Chain A
Amino acid sequence: MLSRLVLRAAPAALRALPPPVAVGVLHATRTLHTTQQSLAPVPPLPEKGGEVRHGLIPEEFFQFLYPKTGVTGPYMLGTGLLLYLLSKEIYVVNHETAAAACILTVIIYAIKKFGADVAAFADKLNEEKLASALAMKNEAIQTLQTAIEEEKKEQWRVEGRSYLFDAKRNNIAMLLETNYRERLLTVYNEVKKRLDYQVAMQNLKRQKEQDHMIQWVEKNVVQSITPQQQKESIAKCILDLKALSKTAHAAV
């Protein structure tokens, strides 16, 4: 009774301790597995049972009597025993004897006729069970094998990781390069546009200055030609023309 008290108090006392200590103490007091796991794998059943002669007497009895009495020993023993039991009426012959005789006849006839078929049927059932279990095991093994191969393939694929990353890096480098070159081109174009603009501006300015100057000079010159000068120049031209015509006439 005191032991029961102790057993009931033990969990409460354990819980009172701080948690890590309680866990350690619990693990120390629990009984561990001390025996080997002997339940698996189960050894297979023996093929045939112990030998029995005439369905009733084990073979060991015959072997036990063989050295002393030979082969007929047990049968003589059986016959003698039977006659003794009958003659002394230790076994009394009554209605049950007749019933037992009939029943035994029927049973023996049935066993002799249908025994083999029933045994074959039972064996077939056993075979089917075994075959299904074996199929399941084989299937499981097969799936695990394929899983192992898949895993190995994946591991082999992992080795190609570096190539993949190299290709990706190359792609990215290409992209960066093309982007840089595009931007370089735009910069060049923009700068050229601005410089062209400046050049065009300068040309335009010079052109305008030139035109303006020519116009101004022409205007001033035209203005400066007075009517007096005009008459004088026309008279000079006529004189020149006459002189020229004279020389031309002379040449002809």
Chain B
Amino acid sequence: GPLWERPLLEVRLGELHTWISTCSFSPQGLLGAVQRAWSSYCAKYIHVKQGGPAGISMLLAGYCLLSYGWNYQHFKRHRWRKYH
């Protein structure tokens, strides 16, 4: 299909620039993108007859990574070595 209707995973690297130029960065556009991403994640891993631990564990792992990233400046002070 046309470029702006394909999901991000099916866009090739060479077309990424044009794809980014077609998507809307207005608040409604961003909100719509977030909503679509969340609903597709839910539909794939959570709203399933036999889901496993994968659905929530991925969300928790993402949360762990994000919070580590947000507190990185605090962690940097507790390094073991000065020179790497």
Say whether A associates with B: yes
How far is it, in angstroms, between the C-alpha of A45 and the C-alpha of B42 when the chains are bound?
12
B36 within 8 A of A: no
Instruction: Give chain B's interface residue range (CB within 8 Å of chain A).
Output: 20 to 34
| Chain A 90-134 interface 0/1 with B at a Cβ cutoff of 8 Å (1 = within) | 011110000010000000000100010001000100100000000
B50–A92 CB distance below 8 A: no
Of B14-22, B24-32, B76-84, the one contacting chain A is B76-84
Residues of B within 8 A of A92 (CB): 75-76, 78-80
Instruction: Give chain A's interface residue range (CB within 8 Å of chain B).
Output: 20 to 34
Closest CB in chain B relative to A226 CB, distance in Å: 153
Given contact pairs A89-B80, A89-B81, enumerate 6 new A-B contacts (beta carbons under 8 Å).
A46-B48, A49-B44, A52-B45, A56-B57, A56-B58, A92-B80
Give A residues with C-beta under 8 Å from B.
Answer: 45-50, 52, 55-56, 58, 60, 87-89, 91-94, 100, 111, 115, 119, 123, 126
Give B residues with C-beta under 8 Å from A.
Answer: 9, 44-55, 57-58, 61, 64, 68, 75-76, 78-81, 84
Provide a sorted-by-A list of 25 A–B residue pairs whose CB atoms are within 8 angstroms: A45-B47, A45-B48, A46-B48, A46-B49, A47-B50, A49-B44, A49-B45, A49-B52, A50-B54, A52-B58, A55-B53, A55-B54, A56-B61, A58-B58, A88-B84, A89-B79, A89-B80, A91-B68, A92-B78, A93-B80, A100-B64, A111-B53, A119-B50, A119-B52, A123-B50
